[in-house]
Amino acid sequence: MKKLFLSSALSITSLAIAPSVLGGPGEPPNGENTLNDCMTSVSTCPVTPTKFSTKIYKVALCKTNPMEAARALAGFAPDWETNGCVDVYNSTSGEETGDIFSEEGATLSSENITIPEAGKYDFIAAVIDKDFKAASHHMVYDTGGPNTINGKRYVSTAVGGAVEGVVGEEKMMSGNFSTFMPQIACSNGSGIVERTSTTGNNGTYANFLGGGETFYGRVLKEDFTLATQDQGNINNQTASCAGAKYLLSIVSKSTTINENTAGIHIKILAPKGLVQVDQGNNNPADGVVTGFSTHGEKMAVSVSPVSGS
């Protein structure tokens, strides 16, 4: 088959997620808050990361799914060869993306890029590290009202604290992705998930997946087999998979590579809820944010070809 030329680096950008019908307080265009579910002026609530970084190991285009549920549950690693997978990017040690939300975006080293053969591929697979970094900011609003409580914006610190600041000053905190469902034991399947664009949890994946596309998520160990050992507690929704090392993201997305393809665009889903803000519990609410935290239960990776001019 005819080969194609890629750009000198893979382009990575964040995915813009449309606001929900019931938008959170201070969301654009009325304020600078991120998309959020902070419907009260106290306690913790989901916000959207404004900075995000992870480590990518592999991106491949495949003819068929390299890790169907049956294969994963049987304890086998992904089968890249039999399923007609070709590498787009491969780094044994992985490569940090840097902040994908920055104005410059992020790029990956050209020496780790493989030029794939032209053709049609029905699945996109990506292996990323379970560890990531994320940041956000927040201003507390009156419950049900348009006004802020103290007029102060708080930004995340590197250790999950909160300090007064302005947009852009937030620091990235460490987080990890070791389950899809912290309320379910890993041995009962929380390390494996399948979501389509039209059914189940579509609020998270609807703007990420195209019509009829399916996301297949797998939490993998160091040997690339499914993580199934329990840790944490399902009762307080801290259950996760012991020994987790990688997130395998597979998307059923028809992708055609041809002579007009000039590069590959990687889209990383870093949605609302990946960061939570703690608005405190004072009564009456004082508008002081006491901290930020990361919650890595929903992430995915997709790829689109970029045509030349």
pLDDT the model gives residue 12: 52
pLDDT the model gives residue 3: 33
pLDDT the model gives residue 19: 35
C-alpha distance from residue 278 to each of 139, 141, 168, 203, 258 (Å): 11, 13, 19, 23, 49
CA 206, chain centre distance (Å): 14
Helix (H, G, I), strand (E, B) or coil at 204: helix
pLDDT the model gives residue 151: 95
Angle 187-190-194 from CA coordinates, rounded to 5°: 130
pLDDT the model gives residue 28: 87
Tokens of 179: 């389950």
Q: Give the Cα separation of 123 and 59 in Å (integer).
A: 11
- Contact in structure between 76 and 192 (CB atoms under 8 Å): no
Tokens of 244: 């987790």
Angle 136-137-139 from CA coordinates, rounded to 5°: 150
Digits of tens for pLDDT over the chain (309 positions)? 223 333 334 555 444 333 333 467 888 888 899 999 999 999 999 999 999 998 999 999 999 999 999 999 999 999 999 999 999 889 999 999 888 887 766 777 878 887 788 899 999 999 999 999 999 999 999 986 789 999 999 999 999 999 999 999 999 999 998 988 888 999 998 899 888 765 444 456 666 777 778 889 999 999 999 999 999 999 988 899 999 999 999 999 888 888 877 777 777 888 888 999 999 999 999 999 999 999 877 777 777 777 765
Q: Give the Cα separation of 222 and 76 in Å (integer).
A: 12
HSE (side-chain half, CA atoms, 13 Å) at 225 = 7
Specify the pTM. 0.85
Which residues, 6 or more positions from 103, have their beta carbon under 8 angstroms from its beta carbon? none
pLDDT the model gives residue 207: 63
Q: Give the Cα separation of 292 and 275 in Å (integer).
A: 7
pLDDT the model gives residue 233: 92
